[in-house]
Structure 1
Amino acid sequence: MVRFGLAAALLVSLAGSSAMAQTAGTPIGTWLTQAGDAKIKISKCGAALCGKIVWLRNEIDPQTGRPAIDDKNPIPALVGRPVKGITIFNDMRPSAPGKWSGQIYNADDGKTYISSLLMAGPGVLRVEGCVGAICGGETWSFAGK
């Protein structure tokens, strides 16, 4: 009986390791932002990677009672679109082992930044953006496929 329990625990552990191993070399999958306020689904787009907002903690704007919109976007035609569903990057290309570079859109301020994605470990993605020489970033955690 104990032997079966140990085997079951080992199988569960290996299943969890398998999910993390799938993200060890590539960020394909769904990621929770550092603040825990959004999930981004990263997928292949030809030779590049795309990232789309698929979940928001606060999908409804408390001031309007409607879905949160991209109200800081500098393009007037895009201002009314819902934040959930926005593709925040669509041309991240490999730039080094475990690293992709391109541009990322930030719906919080309506700006697009030079950016990179870096696999920082199993289930850990470092997302960085720069304006000139000033860079910042955050760490996203793997949320599943």
Structure 2
Amino acid sequence: MRLLLPLLMTVPLALAGAPLAASQPITGRWLTDSKDGIIHIARCGETLCGRLQRSLVPIEPPGTDIKNPDPALRERRILGLAVLTGLRLEDGKWQGQAYDPKTGRSYRAVVERVSNEALKVTGCLAIFCRTVTWTRAN
């Protein structure tokens, strides 16, 4: 019984840690999978958002969101643009919207922390999804 009691006490602790690992914060600076930009994820009001903090490749002139389907938004600067918006924690995953200024398309987004150094970012348009891995930026 003396050996069994310490073992039984560790089971609730192990189970309690599982949801915490699944919902680790995703805030910080992340290098995109294509290594062309650094996205800074931080609180934006009640949700999280990710903004293009730094471009590691030249941005085509005029440096604005020219491919946006909304003509009123085409004058927005690319640097500082929110590419992830409305991220809320649901079932251990951060869910919201993603925007790709290269194409002007918006996607349903799911972001998961897979380690201290990596995020799994999934963008879906209808039933078609693509998953990439972003790494922590220094």
Q: TM-score, normalised by structure 2?
A: 0.77
Determine what percentage of the aligned residue pairs are the same residue. Answer: 34
Is the 8 Å Cα contact of residues 59 and 68 (structure 1) preserved in structure 2?
A: no
Using the TM superposition, give the Cα deviation of residue 92 of structure 1 relative to its aligned residue in structure 2, in angstroms: 0.5
> 1:132 deviation in Å?
1.4
Alpha-carbon distance in structure 2 between the residues aligned to 1:71 and 1:47: 29
- Residue 36 (structure 1) aligns with: 35
Which residue number in structure 1 is paired with residue 89 of structure 2? 94
* Mapped partners of 1:60, 1:49: distance in 2: 25
Partner of 2:102: 108
Q: 1:75 aligns with which of 66, 70, 83?
A: 70
Q: What displacement does 1:143 show?
A: 0.9
Aligned counterpart, 1:15:
none
Residue segments in structure 1 that go unaligned for 5+ positions in a row: 1-23
- Higher Cα radius of gyration: 2
Gaps of 5+ in 2: 1-22
Q: Secondary structure at the match of 2:80?
A: coil
User: Would you say how many aligned residue pairs link Structure 1 and Structure 2?
Assistant: 116
Distance 1:67 1:141, change over 3 A: farther
Provide the C-alpha distance between the structure 1 equivalents of 2:69 and 2:86, rounded to a whole number of angstroms. 20
Q: CA deviation at 1:58?
A: 2.3
Look up the match of 2:5: none
Deviation digits for residues 77-124 of structure 1, max 9, x if unmatched?
Answer: 211322111011231000122x10011111111011111101111210
Q: What SS class does the counterpart of residue 36 from structure 1 fall into?
A: coil
In the other structure, the counterpart of 1:18 is none
Amino acid of the residue matched to residue 52 of structure 1? Answer: R
Structure 2 counterpart of 1:47, one-letter code:
E
The residue correspondences of 1:1-145 to structure 2 (distance < 5 A) are 25-61=24-60, 66-97=61-92, 99-144=93-138
- Whole-Å Cα distance in 2 between the matches of residues 60 and 28 of structure 1? 25
Say what the alpha-carbon RMSD is for the aligned residues.
1.7
